[in-house]
Structure 1
Amino acid sequence: MKTVKLLDREFRVSIPAEEIDNVIAQMAEKMNKDLAGTNPLFICILNGSFMFASDLMKQITVENSQITFMRLSSYDGMGTTGKVKKLMGFTEDLKDRTVVLLEDIVDTGITITNTLDQIKDYEAKEVLIATMLFKPDALIREVKLNYVGMEIPNDFIVGRGLDYDGMGRNLPDVYTVIEK
């Protein structure tokens, strides 16, 4: 079993990089069909989604696609604070555009519903949500997800953009914390 140590915790591989790559490729294929002719604007929710967004966008073939970034924060250590801080917004015009929010993970739903609240006044034609990972057992806010890579258990994970106090984002696989 492949493990890594980050700060004071040990983690074991739970989703290999190849599996994530396949899921993202399938998601991109579906988006390419669904979004054809829409001039979509993808909004990457930083910091965690940067790897997912990069992997996905390399496979998006929809003409006139654009990507921008929005930075939010809701975690401290291994737990959510329950509050979302907007650290960096975007400047693109969303009016009458198809917007696709890119999230690394949807767990409680707090971050994504907060993001939806923040952009509703921008008059987008439609707002879709794509997430690499989804923890249905952690969901406390109702949210409609349009593209879901994988459903996973409600465990604390790192890797592929996800972090533990800023550590582990660079890992190509996803790791689950080993509880002691």
Structure 2
Amino acid sequence: MRAEDVKDDLVNVLFTEEQIHGKLAEMAKQIEADYEGKDLLIVGVLKGAAMVMADMARSFTRHVDMDWMAVASYGSGTKSSGVVRIIKDLDIDIHGRHVLIIDEIIDTGLTLSWLTSSLRARGAESVEIATLLRKPDALQMPVDPKYVGWDIPNDFVVGYGLDYREKYRNLRDIGTLAPHIYS
């Protein structure tokens, strides 16, 4: 689905699919350089990071192990619930591994702050974060991602894995959701 397919639902398009692919390729190149010679495990945070993780992984020119976690701090609305729950845990033992968490957005920071602490406590050699988007004005918890695609305003955005009530995840672009949709 493209932005023009849901144009009445969006205020504007922040990033096109082409811009997103370019940014992910740029980030993958830097990650490869930083982890050269290291055994890297990338961990996608479901459901939102599915698109980002898949496209970033395809941009690598080296082998990486991949796993997924599903953690949630969002309910069905537009605000964080404040409680983090593990819905699906890792299948791979991370003890002594270099772990790179891949997420689509850092909003309040609650989920990723909790997740990085949890993975470090499991004995990972290192735990870093790569995120396509970050909302600096929305941060409530200290989160310091090593790789950030773009900083964006504190607006409700959808597309490329980002949803509103499970819709818009398959939007190829990222846009600001019109308030009449969620008001």
- TM-score range (shorter-chain normalised) is over 0.9
The runs of 5 or more residues in structure 2 that have no matched partner are none
Kindly state the Cα deviation for residue 3 of structure 1 after the two structures are TM-superposed: 6.5
Cα root mean square deviation, aligned: 1.6
Note the alpha carbon deviations across 1:108-139, whole angstroms, 9 max, x for none.
10010111122222111111100010111111
Q: Within 1, Cα distance between the matches of 2:121 and 2:36?
A: 25
Q: Within 1, Cα distance between the matches of 2:143 and 2:121?
A: 18
Q: Within 1, Cα distance between the matches of 2:34 and 2:62?
A: 9
Contact 2:43–2:102, Cα closer than 8 Å, also in 1:
yes
Higher helix share: 2
* Residue number in structure 1 paired with 2:107: 107
Q: Within 2, Cα distance between the matches of 1:3 and 1:58?
A: 27
Q: Within 1, Cα distance between the matches of 2:117 and 2:33?
A: 27
Kindly state the Cα deviation for residue 14 of structure 1 after the two structures are TM-superposed: 2.1
Identity among equivalent positions (%) equals: 35
**TM superposition outliers: structure 1 runs of 4+ over 2 Å:** none
Q: Within 2, Cα distance between the matches of 1:43 and 1:96?
A: 15
Note the alpha carbon deviations across 1:34-73, whole angstroms, 9 max, x for none.
111111000000000000000000011234x100000011
* Residue number in structure 1 paired with 2:141: 141
Q: Within 2, Cα distance between the matches of 1:61 and 1:178?
A: 38
Matched pairs, number: 176
Q: Within 2, Cα distance between the matches of 1:164 and 1:33?
A: 35
User: TM-score, normalising length from structure 1?
Assistant: 0.92
